[in-house]
Amino acid sequence: MSSNVLSKSARIAELNDEFRKSGRGGKTIMTSAVADLPSEVVSRAVVIVQTFNDFTEDNDPHGEHDFFSFEVAGEKFFWKCDYYDKEMEFGSNDPCDPDKTTRVATLMLASDY
């Protein structure tokens, strides 16, 4: 992998981490199955999302910190980050550039996928 690709992946990971931890720089949604869970379970899941830092080559092969899974209260959750243009019509052509990209995070149950 070239150093340019690595630096792009590192920049995307940095932006994704900032967004995941703060919620700033994009939109966060949850599926109806997650929203229907008890509020205590949803709150625990959100805290895990905000504090997750266990990215490895196995669970993050592109080094972008754009997906992970975890369990809470016997439920398996997925967190996924996608990249759209500022108008939210198309995919972003440059996820490294926050001025051109709106991040959209989805918190879902594995069974939603």
The overall average pLDDT reported for the chain is: 94
- % the chain with pLDDT above 90: 88
In this prediction, residue 2 carries a pLDDT of: 52
- % the chain with pLDDT above 70: 95
H-only helix segments in the chain: 3-22, 32-35, 39-51
Tally the domains of the chain.
1
In this prediction, residue 6 carries a pLDDT of: 59
pTM over 0.85, yes/no: yes
In this prediction, residue 57 carries a pLDDT of: 87
Residue-number span of the structural domain to which 67 is assigned: 3-112
Amino acid at 50: Q
